[in-house]
A and B are shown apart, each in its own frame.
With several copies, the nearest count.
Chain A
Amino acid sequence: MEKRLPREKLIEMYRKMLRIRHFEDRIYRLFLSGTMPGTIHLSQGQEAIAVGVCANLSKDDIITGTHRSHGEALAKGVSMKSLMAELFARSNGCCKGKGGSMHVGDIDVGMLPAIAIVGGGIPVATGIALAFKMKRLDRVAVSFFGDGASNEGAFHEAINMGAIWDLPVIYVCENNLYGASTHVSKVMKLKDIANRAFSYGIPGVVVDGNDVVAVYEVARKAIDRARKGEGPTLIECKTYHIGGHSRSDPRQYRDKEEEKRWLAKDPIPRMKKKLIATNILSSEKSENIEAAIEKEIDEAIKFAQSSPSPKPEDALRDVFA
């Protein structure tokens, strides 16, 4: 498959995954050191999904995220500086400090403030797609959500509505095997969430969520289909979140064998290995990429930390238009 994609695209997807990884590694440390307020949910291990899907989108397409959306935000084009400033609760954060880690987003690049009510973004993305269709715009909406979200009523109602109206919306389920501490096998009997698509009469596809090219390809097809007016697709990306649910999660509820198996599938080393094996990436180039990312992160942190805080009374603004 990789062969069909230009080298630059492959390297770019690799770089974008790595950028998310380093970004999250760093904020995790900032968070643990107490420098960063609030709570965080990291997506290490799931970067291939955000990157593979968003590589098919333009700024005008709109995505909805969840409590775990730093990766989607970076992949969709939210500037790292404004993202970092948001996490630091600064007034030039992407939500001016009103959002925080669970609500990152910037409509200027096509991402709503992430919706942290599990499943809550699915109807909203469906409504966005409805607007696109009514306005005859060649745009798609993408809703990212987890395995756990697929047990919410919102999932059922919204996908059914997206389906009956053939809306240009893609439902991307990041099945990382857990909703918080709860293993997916405890809370649903079917093996592939993608098969829930059947209830709505739309295609459901399972893809290796740790293979960015596979995700890219599957998303591309679904998005093409949606743009052609043929309606939504439910894509289930099988993946794993390396760091667990949130903050400093000791992950004692996880089976160690399972963890090991999945860590071996980490999408980033996997992609790197492939790129090197196919001579697309040299180790020099690889180091340059890492260095550039580190530099960008340093700068973003510097930017954020030197940014002003909102004024207390700013709390009163932005309620009504």
Chain B
Amino acid sequence: MYLLKVKENKLRNLTVAEALREAIREEMRRDESVFCIGEDIGIKGGWGGAFTVTLGLSEEFGHERILDTPISELGIAGIAVGAALAGMRPIADVEYGDFIFLAMDQLINNAAKLRYMSAGKLKVPMVMRIPVGASGRGAQHAQSLESYFVHVPGLKVVCPSNAYDAKGLLKTAIRDDNPVMFFEHKLLYGAKGRREGIDARGEVPEEEYLLPFGVAEIKREGEDVTVVATLRMVYAALSAAEELEKRGISVEVIDPRTLTPLDLETILKSVHKTNRLIIVHEDNLTGGWGAELATRVTSEAFDWLDVPVTRIAAPDTPVPFAPIMENYFVPNSEDIVRTAASVLGKS
């Protein structure tokens, strides 16, 4: 079922939004218990959610299965939990990740714990789609939130960085019997708005495929330093790697793709080779998932590391509005170039 390498399939170039939509469409066709629930996702003449992911789906599946809700995030999450417990497979969403704080109780106290409290009798197969990342909208529409959820036992955490991964991972998330927090970066959707977006489109095969959780992808091989990055930061890492190559520094870039479960093995193997690790995330530095990864790698690879693991992350501030400050806030490829050079003693 998992299709890790695309062979002779027909390939289409899709945006992340299109890829996600296709994943949802395929899963909804395959399994009647799959449905979407969220704000403004299926309104006729509307936008298909804040980022067009569900656009057009209500025409095929009707408004019962593309279920528009009141503005009630706690309610949406709690209802998704209940529906999942009773045999459905809800794909819930919040329009911007920042609103997820309203739903934390249902996600952490119920979704993540009911299986445990029932000693394994229940399962909660739901997906919560959570758009993250700074995109010029100020402090309450900008946060990266993965780290909060990495800390919650019972939740899986997924962070696709491109269309191919987005589709394959979302299909896996929908079929997973556990609550999955699915983080999507706003600037990667590929929507055509002004000032928006990196091109995260990618070749997506026509043939069905799923991607397993817990399998990192080596985006680029290298010898001198390993850079682990997710979501938008994958692009910063890749362009830093190009720049560094010009300077004779060979960078291995790894995208873990899922943070829970985490493919520590692939990262360790890389660090064994490069002896240096840089972790990059847009989430705030302190208490971010980079700390967890750094600690695990250090603990396993203590003797191979030539220098301590370095983190590059957003500073410990809310997200500022002014683009000039926001750009400063979000880590970029120059930060990575500079850090890599310094880690290699070449700054």
Interface of A with B (CB < 8 Å)? 34, 37-39, 62, 89-90, 95-103, 105-108, 112-113, 115-120, 122-132, 134-135, 141, 148-149, 151-154, 157-158, 160-161, 164-165, 179-182, 186-188, 251-254, 309-321
Contacts and interface: CB of A to CB of B under 8 A. Distances in A.
Contacts of A125: 82
Nearest to A253: B45
A97 B120 CA distance: 12
A89 B45 CA distance: 32
B218 interface: no
Contact of A124 (B44, B82, B139, B323): B82
B98 interface: yes
B88 A102 contact: no
- Top 9 A-B pairs, shortest CB-CB distance: A127-B82, A123-B78, A100-B321, A157-B75, A252-B45, A181-B46, A131-B86, A97-B322, A312-B328
B226 to A, nearest CB: 28
A241 B85 CA distance: 31
Interface centre among B121, B321, B326 (most CB of A within 10 A): B321
B320 A116 contact: no
Contacts of B140: 102-103, 115-117, 120
Interface stretch (B19-27, B103-111, B299-307): B103-111
Interface stretch (B203-211, B264-272, B311-319, B334-342): B311-319
B77 A131 contact: no
Contacts of B121: 106-108
B320 A98 contact: yes
B116 to A, nearest CB: 5
Given A134-B83, A314-B325, A319-B154, 12 more contacts: A89-B323, A98-B325, A99-B117, A103-B321, A120-B110, A127-B79, A127-B81, A160-B75, A180-B39, A253-B46, A315-B320, A319-B318
Interface stretch (B63-71, B165-173, B243-251, B289-297): B63-71
B35 interface: yes
Contacts of B70: 148, 151, 157, 160-161, 164, 179, 182, 187-188
B138 A126 contact: no
Contact of B324 (A124, A126, A158, A309): A309
B45 A254 contact: yes
A98 B139 contact: yes
Contact of A123 (B68, B81, B114, B194): B81
20 contacts: A89-B322, A96-B119, A112-B118, A112-B122, A117-B140, A119-B71, A120-B78, A124-B106, A127-B85, A131-B83, A131-B85, A135-B88, A157-B70, A157-B78, A180-B39, A181-B43, A182-B46, A313-B328, A320-B115, A320-B154
B223 interface: no
Contacts of A314: 320, 325
Contact of B79 (A38, A103, A105, A158): A158
A274 to B, nearest CB: 34
A101 B137 CA distance: 8
A112 B109 CA distance: 14
A132 B35 CA distance: 13
Contact of B47 (A90, A122, A126, A181): A181
Contacts of B195: 34, 37
Chain B: interface size category: 35 or more
B123 interface: yes
Contacts of A182: 39-40, 43, 46, 68, 70
A112 B68 CA distance: 26
B45 A98 contact: no
Interface centre among A117, A310, A314 (most CB of B within 10 A): A117
A319 to B, nearest CB: 5
A98 B86 contact: no
Nearest to B37: A130
A161 B72 contact: yes
B262 to A, nearest CB: 14
A6 to B, nearest CB: 32
A321 B114 CA distance: 11
A188 B69 CA distance: 10
A157 B105 CA distance: 14
Contact of B138 (A116, A154, A165, A319): A116
Contacts of A38: 136-138, 321
Nearest to A96: B119
Given A128-B83, A161-B75, A321 B115 contact: yes
A186 B109 CA distance: 28
A157 B118 contact: no
B178 A105 contact: no
Nearest to A320: B178
B102 interface: yes
B328 A253 contact: no
Contacts of B321: 38, 89, 95, 97-100, 103
